[in-house]
Structure 1
Amino acid sequence: MAVIAPVWISGLLGALILAIFVAMAVRWIRLPYTIALVLVGLVIGLLGDELPASENFQGLLSAEVIFFLLLPPLLFEGAAAMDLGKLARNWKIITLLAIPGVVISSIVIGVIAWQVVWPNHDNGLLYGLLLGSILAATDPVSVLALFKTLGAPKRLTVLIEGESLFNDGTAVVLFNILLVAVLATFIGQDMSVRELLVSGFVKFLFIVSIGFLVGFVGGILSNWLLVRTSDHLVEISITVALAFGTFLLAEILHGSGVIAVVVGGLMVGNHGTKFGMTATARVGLQHFWEVVSFLINSVLFLLIGYEVQAAFEFDMRTLVLATTAIVATLVARLIIYPLTSISNHNHPNPIPWKWRHTIFWSGLRGSIPIALLLLLSNMVSHGTT
């Protein structure tokens, strides 16, 4: 056949096959699956020319690919599987962690990064806050997988997964607000603290509202369609269209695609699948999205390891920045202790201390920070900043 397959197809297939072998191997080496994938990706990147096939991985991962192709299914799978009743019973602590928790964490990381990395720069604090917003979102996929194996308490799982679902949206919105402020400094339009707070708050409300409305309308429409069909293939197709469609539409309308997918997923997972689908179809839908989530996470974390090595030069400045980011992120994560104390006030079922420690260490970083870093790196390389 005269048709030659694009390089990215062989790279994607190679990443998938490698991820399958890693998934099988981690059962014997007792290492979290996602961490093992990142390490393998790092090794591939470090070997470079020694592995000719490694060049097929180049260019596979970009901010656009993560946001518009990989992220919507991951968000939808998590939201659709979330019990809305359990989420509602824990709304206080999840809201505290997902909104003020993200903002405070960004500020703490930003101040530390400012003092260590950009102490003498006029816009050092602003750069630090932008870095803080990038590192604020959590992605506890490996922790949740471990919870399933160990049979962890359902409420603890809801708390950690609920925080992750909603802090993604907050972090992306905060990043967009701070990015506008940073870009303004490059054209001589410095914003005062008051202007930044006011415009940021207004923009935050607008982005969140648009995302919520798009997800809500998409969820209603999807539920209406699910009730009117009994074909399981059509039903699965409806959820796929919802995941990608709400994200894309919300972004086109300058809203939050992350929030749109989460809202739509919650509505379909807690209403459409229960009242518009048979039990057999529900099981099929759940298995479909579990497989999709597994495949995406497998390829994603492998490519993250490769991209980290390939995209950044490991000089002293990078080492200082990386060390600062890690330390600052751990310090900022301490905010969960006072926030859980506030949530426990007059609560009939307070969060125990051992759960607080688990929540602290579950705050791993994943696809959102990588996507935002790649977006920022792409802007810098093209001379936008």
Structure 2
Amino acid sequence: MNSLSFVAIAFVVLSLVGLNALTYYSHRTRLLPDIVWVLLLGVLYGFLSTTTELGLPEITLNSELVLYAFVPLLIFSSTQKICLHHIRKVLLPASLIGSVGILISMVIIGAILHFVFGMPWLATLLFGVIISATDPLAIGALLHENKTLQESRKLLIEGESILNDGFVVTVFGVFMLLMFEGATFSPVNSSASLFSHITGALIIGVLLGRAARWLLAYWHGEHFSLRTNMTLALAFGSLLLAESLHFSGILAVFSAALAYGYKRPEPDQNTHIQGCLWDYFEYIANASLFFLLGASFSGLASFDLLTFSLVITSLILLIVARLVAILLLFPAITIEGEHLTPQEFWLLNFSGARGAVSIALILLLPDSFELKETFLSISFVMILFSLVLYPIFVQQLQRKPG
């Protein structure tokens, strides 16, 4: 066995043991979710690999790896746990926050960066939409453990995050056309393009999800291995087909998972094992993605480009932009005619931690874009801040009576 193979295997072994240790001690201390400890461990690894002579290989996040390997697994895994009957109750407010709320946040961030720091309008709006994509993975475990929070409220938070990721990626595509491919902006054409991207993705997902269910029934594929094969193919296939047709892959995966699970099979050993397998896929994907995100911090972020005023302003915008968006939409955010309580309102706000999707989108920007490194550095600071501190805010909110 050569030295590289030995190091790789040893790293995997130590990582698996380390994950168990992190899970055990994070559950005992309840200070931070175990996935955040994985993130911080990645930051430590990245720091040691770039500043010491220990011989540790440098690890950097790859945008295509995030969008085409991790995202389908994570979105399909989260969505297939959602009952279509229940999500109907929160679909309207979740869609509103995940679209109009994103646009409000985008304008607030873009305007401040433009007028205060003199950055170009289109560039700041682009950054505003990118950094508005939320990632509830660090918060999700805390919410699922909360027995007092209604399931509909949990669905609102989880569903909104998935929908806003899909919307952000779609709007990002529009900005890419305007800024780097010379397309002319037209409100009518841009709105029509956005609508077609979203609608096309949803239709593709529904058709593939129902086709997968029909094939399993036709082939009598009740065994968990056959169901797992089909759902894995559905998760990646729906994203690839939608992206190849220039639709939103994230929304296609979301709708495919919903359509596939519209009529859940009767609980038995096969469905239980399939669920456990998908839980493990999600667990490994989360851990790998958060470690990669942390390990990339030292290699991709450039602190020379960050000023104190820019960092402070960015952290304020991180909280304020989403807060203002939810406040403006609050009269329309109702679940079965009921408004959110103050506790639920703040939980919704601080469940909007940022994550790897934002970094992946910035990495997709051309290297010739002069603000790419600056946006990448700011994003890392904002993401680490939200992923470390937001879970603490959520825990404190959950200890207070509703």
Asked if the contact 1:34–1:142 (Cα under 8 Å) also holds between the matched residues in 2, the reply is yes
Asked if the contact 2:135–2:352 (Cα under 8 Å) also holds between the matched residues in 1, the reply is yes
Shift of 1:197: 2.5
Separation in 1, partners of 2:366, 2:7: 23
Indicate the residue corresponding to 1:256 in structure 2. Answer: 248
Choose which of 279, 283, 293 in structure 1 pairs with 2:272: 283
Separation in 1, partners of 2:241, 2:320: 37
Indicate the residue corresponding to 2:313 in structure 1. Answer: 324
Task: Write the deviation string for residues 63-111 of structure 1: whole angstroms up to 9, x where unpaired.
Answer: 0000111110100011101121121012221121111111111111111
Shift of 1:19: 3.7
- Over 3 Å counting, the alpha-carbon distance change for 1:377 and 1:26 in structure 2 is farther
Separation in 2, partners of 1:99, 1:82: 20
Indicate the residue corresponding to 2:389 in structure 1. Answer: none
Deviates more, 1:231-240 or 1:17-26: 17-26
Indicate the residue corresponding to 2:135 in structure 1. Answer: 139
Percent identity over the alignment? 27
Separation in 2, partners of 1:283, 1:318: 52
- Over 3 Å counting, the alpha-carbon distance change for 1:13 and 1:130 in structure 2 is farther
Shift of 1:159: 0.8
Separation in 1, partners of 2:115, 2:8: 42
Separation in 1, partners of 2:64, 2:7: 18
Correspondence 1:318-357 to 2 at 5 A: 320-334=309-323, 335-344=325-334, 348-357=337-346
Choose which of 224, 227, 242 in structure 2 pairs with 1:235: 227
Q: Does 1:39 align with 2:40?
A: yes
Q: Which 5+ residue runs of structure 2 have no aligned equivalent?
A: 373-402
What residue identity is the alignment partner of 1:148?
H
Indicate the residue corresponding to 2:75 in structure 1. Answer: 75
What residue identity is the alignment partner of 2:208?
G
Asked if the contact 2:46–2:59 (Cα under 8 Å) also holds between the matched residues in 1, the reply is no
Asked if the contact 1:80–1:270 (Cα under 8 Å) also holds between the matched residues in 2, the reply is no
CA-atom RMSD in angstroms: 2.6
- Over 3 Å counting, the alpha-carbon distance change for 1:51 and 1:246 in structure 2 is farther
Choose which of 52, 56, 76 in structure 2 pairs with 1:54: 56
Choose which of 210, 216, 223 in structure 1 pairs with 2:213: 223
Correspondence 1:168-317 to 2 at 5 A: 168-184=165-181, 189=182, 191=184, 195-227=185-217, 228-271=220-263, 274-275=264-265, 279-317=268-306
Asked if the contact 1:246–1:260 (Cα under 8 Å) also holds between the matched residues in 2, the reply is yes
Correspondence 1:72-111 to 2 at 5 A: 72-111=72-111
Secondary structure of 1:99's counterpart equals helix
Secondary structure of 1:259's counterpart equals helix
What residue identity is the alignment partner of 2:54?
P
Shift of 1:190: 7.7
Task: Write the deviation string for residues 43-69 of structure 1: whole angstroms up to 9, x where unpaired.
Answer: 2222225363531x524x200000111
- Over 3 Å counting, the alpha-carbon distance change for 1:282 and 1:177 in structure 2 is same
Number of aligned residue pairs: give it. 365
- Over 3 Å counting, the alpha-carbon distance change for 1:178 and 1:10 in structure 2 is farther
Shift of 1:169: 0.5
Q: Which 5+ residue runs of structure 1 have no aligned equivalent?
A: none
Separation in 2, partners of 1:251, 1:90: 27
Asked if the contact 1:79–1:262 (Cα under 8 Å) also holds between the matched residues in 2, the reply is yes
The TM-score normalised by the length of structure 2 is 0.83
- Over 3 Å counting, the alpha-carbon distance change for 1:158 and 1:380 in structure 2 is same
Separation in 2, partners of 1:9, 1:320: 44
Shift of 1:304: 0.6
Separation in 1, partners of 2:255, 2:300: 34
Indicate the residue corresponding to 1:364 in structure 2. Answer: 353
- Over 3 Å counting, the alpha-carbon distance change for 1:204 and 1:365 in structure 2 is same
Separation in 2, partners of 1:325, 1:179: 23
